[in-house]
């Protein structure tokens, strides 16, 4: 049986928990205390981060890689578009979401909620590209890209008082509507952490350190 090392509060780990639930794949869940990581977990994990998937003697880390592996091994044929170019854009969107948008989300909380104008412009360009990509997608909302973005979007929305990132998404109606639809996926809803506790922990870790 698959083993997943996860942490309830972690949006990266939620991506994989949600996908496993969506695909109805049985697995053993191992909750990792991110403040006191178990030596057994650290001995297995090259990064010490979650999620980490163990399939017999095969280990994988990084949520995007894990989820693509699960989609392939579970025969999820419509995980991404059947159109070659749109599929490439969906993969690019996942990469840029993490490198540009998610990084700015955490940095903005550390900076008292603000994003400087140059970075704001760069994020805006990426969000415009994402809006075009999701606007060109098929009717189904449940895709790898949806699972990739949903968990962070939920937290951005919850943490509006300490980050302006959600406002940038609000400014793009097509993208905002798509983001909201990702939260309607049952497996995403079912794997969300408790809101009040999550907001408190994020504010304590990031916003409390703001200048």
> CA–CA separation, 190 vs 147, rounded Å?
13
Q: Is the pTM of this model over 0.85?
A: yes
179 and 103 housed in the same domain: yes
Q: Tell whether 119 is covered by a domain.
A: yes
60 and 9 housed in the same domain: yes
Q: Which residues pair with 52 in a beta bridge?
A: 5, 61
Q: What is the pLDDT of residue 24?
A: 98
Q: Tell whether 79 is covered by a domain.
A: no
The total domain count for the chain is: 2
Task: Decide: helix, strand or coil at residue 28.
Answer: strand
> Is residue 39 over pLDDT 90?
no
> Is residue 211 over pLDDT 80?
no
Q: Tell whether 190 is covered by a domain.
A: yes
Alpha-helical (H) ranges within 50-194 are 63-73, 84-96, 103-110, 117-135, 144-158, 165-170, 173-182, 186-191
50 and 123 housed in the same domain: no
Q: Tell whether 145 is covered by a domain.
A: yes
Q: Tell whether 53 is covered by a domain.
A: yes
Angle (deg, nearest 10), helices 144-158 and 63-73: 140
Separation of first and last alpha carbons in the chain: 47
> CA–CA separation, 4 vs 65, rounded Å?
14
63 and 126 housed in the same domain: no
Q: Which of 39-43, 67-71, 96-100, 174-178 has the lowest mean pLDDT?
A: 39-43
65 and 99 housed in the same domain: no
Residue 194 is classified by DSSP as: P
> Is residue 148 over pLDDT 80?
yes
Better-scored residue on pLDDT, 70 or 36: 70
Domain that holds residue 46: 2-73
Give the pLDDT confidence of 55-104 residue by residue, as tens digits: 999 999 999 999 999 999 999 999 999 999 999 999 999 999 999 999 99
Mean pLDDT for the chain overall:
95
Radius of gyration of the chain (CA): 17
52 and 120 housed in the same domain: no
Q: Which of 62-66, 136-140, 188-192 has the lowest mean pLDDT?
A: 136-140
Q: What is the pLDDT of residue 16?
A: 98
Q: Tell whether 117 is covered by a domain.
A: yes
35 and 97 housed in the same domain: no
Q: What is the pLDDT of residue 43?
A: 86
């Amino acid at each position: 049986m698959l083993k997943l090392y996860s942490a309830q509060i972690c949006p990266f780990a939620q991506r994989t928990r949600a996908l496993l639930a969506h695909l109805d794949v049985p697995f053993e869940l191992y909750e990792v205390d991110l403040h006191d990581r178990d030596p057994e977990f650290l001995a297995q994990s090259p990064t010490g981060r979650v999620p980490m998937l163990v399939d017999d003697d095969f280990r994988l880390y990084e949520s995007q890689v894990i989820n693509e592996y699960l989609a392939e091994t579970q025969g999820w044929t419509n995980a991404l578009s059947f159109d070659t170019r749109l599929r490439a854009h969906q993969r690019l969107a996942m990469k840029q979401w993490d490198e540009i948008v998610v990084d700015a989300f955490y940095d903005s909380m550390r900076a008292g909620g603000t994003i400087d104008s140059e970075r704001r412009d760069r994020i805006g360009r990426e969000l415009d590209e994402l809006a075009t990509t999701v606007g060109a997608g098929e009717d189904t909302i449940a895709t790898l890209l949806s699972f990739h973005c949903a968990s962070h979007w939920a937290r951005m929305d919850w943490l509006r008082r300490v980050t302006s990132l959600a406002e940038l998404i609000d400014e793009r109606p097509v993208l905002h509507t798509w983001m909201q639809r990702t939260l309607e996926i049952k497996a995403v809803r079912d794997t969300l952490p408790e809101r009040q506790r999550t907001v408190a922990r994020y504010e304590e870790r990031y916003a409390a350190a703001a200048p």
